[in-house]
Amino acid sequence: MEAKKKERVLIFDTTLRDGEQSPGASMNSDEKLRIAHQLEKLGVDIIEAGFPVASEGDFLSVQQIARQVRQPQIAALARANLADIDRAWEAIKEAAHPRIHTFLSTSDIHLKYQLKKTRAQVLKEACAAVAHACAYTPNVEFSPMDATRTEWNYLCDVLEAVIAAGATTVNIPDTVGYIIPDEFGRLISHIYEKVKNIRKAVISVHCHNDLGLAVANSLAAVKHGARQVECTINGIGERAGNAAMEEVVMALETRKDFFGFRTGIKTEHIYQSSRLLTHITGIPVQPNKAIVGANAFAHESGIHQDGLIKEKSTYEIMTPQSVGISGTHLVLGKHSGRHAVSEHLKKMGYKLTGADLKKVFVRFKELADVKKEIFDEDLEAIVYEEVYKIDERFKLVYLNVISGNVAVPTATMQLEVDGKIIQDAGFGVGPVDATFTAIRKITDTNYNLLKYVVTAITGGTDALGEVMVQLKYNGRSVAGRGADPDVIVASAKAYINALNRLEFIKGDVKKVRIE
Ligand code: KIV
Ligand code: ZN
């Protein structure tokens, strides 16, 4: 007998909208487009591409994604007012499958202190917004913001009214990450019972991670009837972030015996998606992060290792391969030829040809001269630096650092700035400080350094050092990353990368932010 086809849970990815609200996660339009293409490859059902009314940059970026990413639905966010909705539609009208996502707060706290409106007013405005959006497209989602702190019966009234007005998806946001899984499950059941027309819409959930419960809450909601989960890659997002897509998807997949659902996600592209986001935003993933952390499949205990050798399932509930981690860590060295490197890159998911492959191979050879073994992570760092780099106003030409317990740490540096070579030197309390001083002098900038993090990409003292810096500009923060066997050079690269990324942000002044 043919197995019964499992019901589908839709994956709505908001990495490019809510995820971008993470401190330091600002991305330029090319970077967003690259992420959107990766999300399409991953098989997400809906991409929330941005909030078009926020700025001209957001609008253009959503429009570009709508025009070029044709498989998934492309959603644009809009507050519940006519102007926002018009702007959202303008941005996505050329999408193959457009969706307008409009939202309005419904909790008494928000109504009293933020909106200064009555419940009746909010209900009316929500319906008017949905009706206006429906004039453009039948694919309309409504979110009662702060739904989990909204009085349940009023929430049900709003949901029933917006469905009657034409909403085909009703999202239940846990905006401040307040609810507990069991309680959320009961809320979804309550909505099913009380909202008469609920079967005309899909129930979605959108959970924030303030209590570390975003994934658990999303799964509890699925168990009680939600059929769309809003999430982000690596769980990035406002404050403690959003539900992590890879965790939601792998929980549904690994425990399909319990949930009985499937998603459209091609799980073997999860790891590469996570790495792409880390490379673009410079926001690292903690080593013990589920599914995509460096230690997610590492077994330290002797007893576990013994069990694994005898039978993998003793201590492994999913394979690294199932999420796209090759698991082989094939080592390349200085005698590896161009073909071997290209074939290995292909296995890692990077199909490079022509000039791109040549640039990567040249860098590979340079690294292999100083580092005995080249691992996947080393190769990946090269690919991101050589192939996926952004337009650069500032380029590192030369760096010489003197440091030690008797020297005054001094960095002498040459940068190319707008095509002109500029040289200067800086002192500091240590070599990194001296390097950053030199960069600040040459570029005539002085941004607040919010964060400086060094990690070794692979083991050993000859490992590539990966550095992430975060700079503050005009209330926003931007991250930069750099990798090199020399951590001081990696630090300089990271700082310069952040400055280059800042150039894009300066030109994109946000007029509206979702508070
Ligand atoms: O967290 C939230 O409430 C949101 C809405 C705009 C859906 O992001
Ligand atoms: Zn949110």
Q: Which two tokens stand for residue 82?
A: 């006519």
**Could you give the CA distance from residue 298 to residue 320 in angstroms, rounded to a whole number?**
10
Predicted confidence (pLDDT) per residue in 272-297, tens digit: 999 999 988 888 899 899 999 988 98
Whether residues 275 and 424 share a domain: the answer is no
User: Given this model, what pLDDT does residue 326 score?
Assistant: 74
Ligand nearest the Cα of residue 146 is 1
Residue 286 falls inside a structural domain:
no
**Of 28, 69, 26, 24, nearest to 48 (Cα)?**
69
**Of 55, 165, 48, nearest to 97 (Cα)?**
48
Closest ligand 1 atom to Cα of 145: 3
User: Given this model, what pLDDT does residue 1 score?
Assistant: 38
Nearest CA to ligand 1 atom 1: 175
Whether residues 196 and 343 share a domain: the answer is no
Whether residues 145 and 89 share a domain: the answer is yes
Confidence label for 64 from pLDDT (cuts 50, 70 and 90): very high
User: Given this model, what pLDDT does residue 479 score?
Assistant: 85
Whether residues 334 and 461 share a domain: the answer is no
Ligand nearest the Cα of residue 238 is 2
What is the domain count for the chain?
4
Helices (H) and strands (E) in the chain, counts: 17, 16
Kindly list the protein residues whose Cβ atom lies closer than 6 A to any atom of ligand 1: 18, 103, 143, 145, 171, 173, 175, 206, 208, 514
pLDDT at 352 over 60: yes
Q: How many C-beta neighbours within 10 Å does residue 313 have? A: 10
Residue 45 falls inside a structural domain:
yes
Pairing relationship of beta strands 448-456 and 465-473 according to DSSP bridges: antiparallel
Whether residues 54 and 111 share a domain: the answer is yes
**Could you give the CA distance from residue 43 to residue 381 in angstroms, rounded to a whole number?**
25
Spatial CB neighbours of 35, under 8 Å, sequence gap ≥ 6:
15, 16, 27, 233, 276, 277, 280
**Of 459, 486, 457, 318, nearest to 383 (Cα)?**
457
Whether residues 334 and 299 share a domain: the answer is no
Whether residues 182 and 209 share a domain: the answer is yes
State the distance from the centre of ligand 2 to the C-alpha of 144, rounded, in angstroms.
11
- Mean pLDDT lowest for which of 135-139, 315-319, 418-422? 315-319
Mean pLDDT along residues 27-51: 95
Whether residues 269 and 136 share a domain: the answer is yes
Sheet holding 410-417, edge to edge: 394-402, 410-417, 420-427
Whether residues 174 and 299 share a domain: the answer is no
Mean pLDDT along residues 43-67: 97
**Of 238, 140, 323, nearest to 515 (Cα)?**
238
State the distance from the centre of ligand 2 to the C-alpha of 432, rounded, in angstroms.
37
**Could you give the CA distance from residue 29 to residue 18 in angstroms, rounded to a whole number?**
16
Name the residue with higher pLDDT: 328 or 126: 126
Residue 511 falls inside a structural domain:
no
Nearest CA to ligand 1 atom 2: 175
Q: How many residues does the chain have?
A: 515
Domain that holds residue 465: 394-506
**289 Ramachandran zone, left/alpha/beta (phi>0; psi -120 to 50):** beta
**Could you give the CA distance from residue 429 to residue 184 in angstroms, rounded to a whole number?**
52
Whether residues 321 and 349 share a domain: the answer is no
Residue 6 falls inside a structural domain:
no
Whether residues 468 and 379 share a domain: the answer is no
Whether residues 28 and 153 share a domain: the answer is yes
Predicted confidence (pLDDT) per residue in 378-420, tens digit: 888 888 888 877 778 999 999 999 999 888 999 999 999 999 9
Indicate the average pLDDT of the chain: 92
Nearest CA to ligand 1 atom 4: 175
Residue 512 falls inside a structural domain:
no
